[in-house]
Homo-oligomer: A and B are copies of this chain.
Amino acid sequence: MSEAFAGLDTPRLLLDADRLERNAARMAGRCAELGVTLRPHLKTAKSVHVARIACSGAPGPITVSTLAEAEYFAAAGWRDILYATAMAPAKLERASRIGREFGAELRLVLDDAAAASALGAAAGGARFGVLLEVDCGEHRSGVAPASPALGAMAAAVASTPALRLDGVMTHAGHSYASDDPVGIRAIAEAERHAAVSSAEALRAAGHPCPIVSVGSTPTVLFADHLRGVTEARAGIYLFNDLAQLSRGVCTEADLAVSVLAAVIGHQRSGPSLVLDAGALALSKDLGANRFLPGTQYGWVCDPTTLARLGTLSVEPVHQEHGTVPVPDEGWFERWPVGSVVRILPNHACLTCAAYGSYDVLRGGAVRERWPRIGGW
């Protein structure tokens, strides 16, 4: 048992606050250099402690992915919140309570002219700022940039008293399909151009468009410039993970989140170590394997140094078991039942979601526990 983790149950989610603070400062500096406001996406962290670090100490503009997050951050003092998942009209009453109860401004995204009138009908006296979503190439959501569909949405918003047109937004999620800086840079430029050209089209048609919002961790870090953009959204940069590492977006020293796991068995037919971190503790995301083959469900690392143990990975996982093939039974002596390892996960957003809190490391030792919000 590593002394630093004595007394901690396993599996447990560890967050290295020293790395987190470096990651946050790097992105804040990057956005200052690009001349845009940073609006961190807190769907990964879901924690007010992390949000304070991401916002340089005081509540600033943030992005969320669920109304549960919006309520949690509003209750903790955040006042400028973009809910970046498209809105179902049935959720509008809950959304309007966030304004009434906390005085927070919750902005919505919209990518459908028909939805504008449905939202207007359901708003019940509340008024929301909206960002029109454009599709810069991922094809998940949004309308074509500077398109007739964008103009139709703007007109629908303008004729809906419950809505106020605040700008445009786009998200280059397809930046994850590349591990090539040149390719990511091209996607960043396409993302910027989609947003800026749409803003220009709206303004030319007489609509206001104060906010021009883009973002993903790879594109914000790799963009040549963001001229015409007013704000950048990114989230995973706070923690990073093997999926980011595999795409060249961060280094191993930037990986802030890991799972503490105990060796609970030695399987001689294999041979393999058996850990108490399986599919629930790690998630079944395999996102790093495309560019880092052999990562499987995560790297198995020394608990103190976080250096990978040889080329060990977790594979396969069951609900509460993680199996780690080892080259020979000599590993059983070095890693006896009861010893602990740390797992670097593929995808921090999904791994963290299984836990109710972070055990927070400073100088390599657990100093605090920070709660996080889950659910919807």
A residues sitting closer than 8 Å to B (CB atoms) are 1, 7, 9-12, 43, 65-67, 85-91, 94, 111-112, 114-115, 118, 135, 139-141, 143-144, 149, 173, 262-270, 274, 276, 279-281, 283-286, 318-321, 323, 336-338, 349-350, 353-356, 374-376
Contacts and interface: CB of A to CB of B under 8 A. Distances in A.
A10 B375 CA distance: 10
A276 to B, nearest CB: 6
Nearest to A44: B319
B85 A264 contact: yes
A320 B65 CA distance: 7
Given A115-B265, A319-B350, 10 more contacts: A9-B94, A10-B90, A88-B264, A89-B337, A89-B338, A91-B262, A112-B337, A279-B285, A280-B353, A356-B375
Contacts of A318: 140, 173
A85 B320 contact: yes
B90 A1 contact: yes
Tell me the dominant secondary structure on chain A's binding face: loop
A350 B354 CA distance: 10
Contacts of A91: 9-10, 262
A134 to B, nearest CB: 12
Given A94-B9, A320-B43, A111 B269 contact: no
8 contacts: A7-B90, A43-B319, A86-B274, A88-B276, A115-B338, A139-B270, A141-B267, A284-B286
Given A11-B376, A265-B111, A320-B43, A337 B135 contact: no
B88 A262 contact: yes
A350 B284 contact: yes
A52 to B, nearest CB: 22
A172 to B, nearest CB: 13
Nearest to A43: B319
